[in-house]
Structure 1
């Protein structure tokens, strides 16, 4: 929106102040360039944060399973059982699948001992290093 100011000399006419279309286009082009540089870094930082949160959640779950086994002498029946027994405040969310119900529960390798021996992510995706989230 242009402002109209009257010059002290009436012979020169009104002075218009504001931005021209070219100036606005230049500013928009600069903003688009900066955004195209920043957006990939932002997305990569979200991926790094999800991977770090997944590693932390897996560590916490595995430690809770180990503590339960050390205290009771048996493996927990489920992750919910760990929360009920106060080994966890709540079953954590898998940050990749964004759900607390997609954890893959692994039985003891001997095939005889019941309960949850290990836990993996239910995601079918790949991490930034190329490994599958489900193999962590």
Structure 2
């Protein structure tokens, strides 16, 4: 019987450690392993999503979102001086604005921009156009 506990407790500790590395309660899975079985607890742990990985992916998505917003702002800032240099509104500036709006719509459709952010950026682009025109 003591040989049984010699393997059971270390396996329960191992399951608790793995659970902790996956963003789950290590102590909770340790207790679950002691009461039920380390094998069953491990199977349950594998069936659950990896919270640590989900958090990393969410952080990456937010960082990518911020990079996209910064690039949109940079494009708008670069487009503003070049359009201000032209003395009269031309067809090429209208095409540039429509291309910028299409890019914004594409980012919104892909889920990179929210509807609110899309409307804000669209307003900025259109306001720049009306103040120059």
TM-score range relative to shorter protein: 0.3 to 0.5
Higher helix share: 2
Instruction: Please say which structure displays the higher CA radius of gyration.
Output: 1
Question: Structure 1-normalised TM-score?
Answer: 0.45
Which has the larger strand fraction?
1
Tell me the TM-score normalized by structure 2. 0.46
